[in-house]
């Protein structure tokens, strides 16, 4: 009877010990799982914070790009406005126009130089073909003297002395001329109205 009781007590104590051990194991497991869950929560919070930071940085970059685009557009608009203003308000001098005309002649840009005569002048008997025939016989020209004789807002008279170097080898020196110019507001440039040999 005593032995049976002792065995029962020992069994109960052993069972209690096992239960305590199991409780400790479960508590440790719960703590480990809780720690893992806490790490996951912390990791998620960090990732969310990082994503929010990246989103904010993207917003900042987009705003910066928008401001730069606005500034670039303003600069482009100002440049166009200033260029148009300069084109409208800058009138080439008659002498500079004539110099450019003969430079284009020497470069054989005859289609361009022919368009620098007034329509009335181009309609005269001297056709484009005869114009080409003359200039194709000239090797080059050289300006010796050029000056404005008179000028107003819409008209100018230019005196010029030219040397003509012909393809035949002949040189015509100091050929004097008066060139009558008229201002064309549509093209913002001078046009040759007449050319008079002296």
Minimum mean pLDDT range among 26-30, 96-100, 160-164 = 26-30
Q: What is the per-residue pLDDT across 123-144, written as a single tens digit (0 to 9) for each?
A: 876 678 888 999 999 999 999 9
Minimum mean pLDDT range among 56-60, 135-139, 181-185, 187-191 = 56-60
Q: What is the pLDDT of residue 171?
A: 93
Q: What is the pLDDT of residue 82?
A: 52
More confident position, 80 or 25 = 25
Residue 186 main-chain phi, psi, to 5 deg = -65, -45
Q: What is the per-residue pLDDT across 157-171, written as a single tens digit (0 to 9) for each?
A: 999 999 999 999 999
In angstroms, the Cα distances linking 42 to 45, 50, 65 are 5, 12, 34
Residues 95 and 109: beta-carbon distance below 8 Å: no
189's enclosing H/E stretch is strand 189-197
Whether this model's pTM surpasses 0.75: no
Residues 159 and 149: beta-carbon distance below 8 Å: yes
The rounded Cα 180 to chain-centroid distance in angstroms is: 40
The rounded Cα 31 to chain-centroid distance in angstroms is: 65
The rounded Cα 190 to chain-centroid distance in angstroms is: 31
pLDDT bracket for residue 87 (50, 70, 90) = very low
- Reduce the DSSP state of residue 169 to 3 states and report it: coil
Cα torsion 136, 139, 144, 149 to 10°: value is 10
Residues 180 and 150: beta-carbon distance below 8 Å: no
The strands making up 155-166's β-sheet, listed across from edge to edge, are: 138-151, 155-166, 171-184, 189-197
Q: What is the per-residue pLDDT across 99-116, written as a single tens digit (0 to 9) for each?
A: 999 999 999 999 999 999
HSE-CB at 129 with a 13 A cutoff on CA atoms is 1
Six-digit token string for 74: 């303003």
pLDDT bracket for residue 70 (50, 70, 90) = confident
CA distance 44 to 33: 16
Q: Please, what is the average pLDDT of the chain?
A: 83
Evaluate if residue 147 carries a pLDDT over 90: yes
């Amino acid at each position: 009877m005593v032995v049976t009781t002792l065995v029962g007590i020992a069994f109960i104590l052993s069972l209690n010990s096992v239960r305590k051990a199991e409780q400790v194991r479960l508590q440790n497991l719960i703590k480990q799982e809780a720690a893992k869950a806490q790490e996951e929560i912390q990791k998620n919070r960090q990732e969310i914070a990082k994503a929010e930071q990246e989103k904010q940085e993207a917003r900042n970059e987009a705003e910066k790009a928008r401001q730069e685009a606005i500034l670039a557009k303003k600069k482009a608009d100002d440049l166009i406005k200033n260029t148009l203003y300069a084109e409208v308000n800058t009138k080439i001098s008659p002498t500079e126009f004539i110099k450019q005309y003969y430079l284009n002649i020497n470069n054989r840009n005859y289609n361009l130089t022919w368009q620098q005569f007034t329509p009335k002048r181009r309609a005269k008997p001297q056709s484009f073909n005869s114009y080409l025939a003359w200039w194709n016989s000239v090797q080059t020209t050289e300006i010796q003297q050029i000056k404005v004789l008179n000028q107003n807002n819409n008209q100018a008279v230019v005196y010029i002395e030219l040397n003509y170097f012909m393809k035949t080898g002949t040189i015509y020196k100091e050929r004097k001329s008066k060139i009558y110019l008229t201002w064309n507001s549509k093209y913002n440039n001078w046009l040759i109205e007449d050319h008079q040999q002296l």
